[in-house]
Amino acid sequence: MSVELRLFVCLRDNYGVLLHDSVSGATAAIDAPEAGPVEAALAAAGWRLNDILVTHHHGDHTAGIEPLKARYGCRVVAPAREASRIPLVDIPMREGDSVRVGSLAATVLETPGHTNGHIAYWFKSEAVAFVGDTLFSVGCGRVIEGTPEMMWRSLAKLRDLPEETKIYCGHEYTAANVRFALTVEPENSALRARAEEVSRLCAAGQPTIPTTIGQEKAVNPFLRADVPAVAAAVGLPNAPPAQVFAEIRGRKDRF
Ligand code: ZN
Ligand code: FE
């Protein structure tokens, strides 16, 4: 494998990630919540920044773009549909586009809902995807700009990735997500096992990320809106999955 990854905390609960191609030496930052921690991670690894791969326009994912571009002259790769709301975009991306980081290649998946132009980056050969604020471990992003139907389709698209795909998301929200998920599926044994793992990791000050698609299918209520037992658990047996998803998302918003 020629890919190396570094995960680090930015701001309060955001994650920054560096993706490095050891063949070419190219390095990309996934989102840029703030410049300082990205620069520190680059310095610690001895890497130079070539690209920033932006998932969506929110400030906690973009505030570091200007200082990082000023320092490194890196390319800014970002969703075409949000290019006017993101600083210094060089390469606007749409569904199915590909982007290279050295010898590594990612496919862009449009995943609207949290924001209307949100995208994810899937490095198929490396079996890793960067999903921003669409999918979290045991949770999902708030539906701020889109509709629940749109968000459900976006989550279902990510769910279709191979189960071994490692998922890096934008925030460390897993402990709170687990507490909520247990209100929907208190008897889900995979969820209970994940809950124990998450408390252990959090107590040790360790990240709960990355997760995998296979794991999220088993524990994440937002990916399970089309499981009959989950629909029944929220009082909507036989309802369409998007409606079940909307109900679960609404409950989480009020949790
Ligand atoms: Zn966001
Ligand atoms: Fe965010």
Q: Assign 202 to helix, strand or coil.
A: helix
The pLDDT value recorded for residue 1 is 62
**Whole-number average pLDDT of the chain:** 98
Mean per-residue pLDDT, 196-211: 98
Ligand 2 midpoint to CA 215 (Å): 22
For residue 12, give both structure tokens: 């309060």
For 116-141, how does the pLDDT look when each residue is reduced to its tens digit (9 = 90+)?
A: 999 999 999 999 999 999 999 999 99
The pLDDT value recorded for residue 227 is 98
Which ligand is the nearest neighbour of the Cα of 145? 1
Ligand 1 midpoint to CA 144 (Å): 9
What is each CA distance from 181 to 75, 132, 136, 184, in whole angstroms? 39, 20, 12, 5
Ligand 1 midpoint to CA 119 (Å): 11
The pLDDT value recorded for residue 187 is 97
Each domain of the chain, given as residue ranges in start order, spans: 3-254
Q: How much of the chain, in percent, has pLDDT values that exceed 90?
A: 100
The pLDDT value recorded for residue 68 is 98
Which ligand is the nearest neighbour of the Cα of 56? 1
Q: How much of the chain, in percent, has pLDDT values that exceed 70?
A: 100
For 163-194, how does the pLDDT look when each residue is reduced to its tens digit (9 = 90+)?
A: 999 999 999 999 999 999 999 999 999 999 99
Ligand 1 midpoint to CA 68 (Å): 20
CB atoms under 10 Å from CB of 200, counted, come to 11
Catalytic residues, by residue number, are: 56, 58, 60-61, 114, 133, 171
Ligand 1 midpoint to CA 63 (Å): 12
Q: Which CATH number fits domain 3-254: 1.10.3720.10, 3.40.50.300, 3.60.15.10, 3.10.20.30?
A: 3.60.15.10
Which ligand is the nearest neighbour of the Cα of 173? 2
Ligand 1 midpoint to CA 62 (Å): 10
Distance, CA of 92 to CA of 71 (rounded, Å) = 21
**Which residues surround the ion ligand 1 when the cut-off is CB under 5 Å?**
58, 133
pTM: 0.98
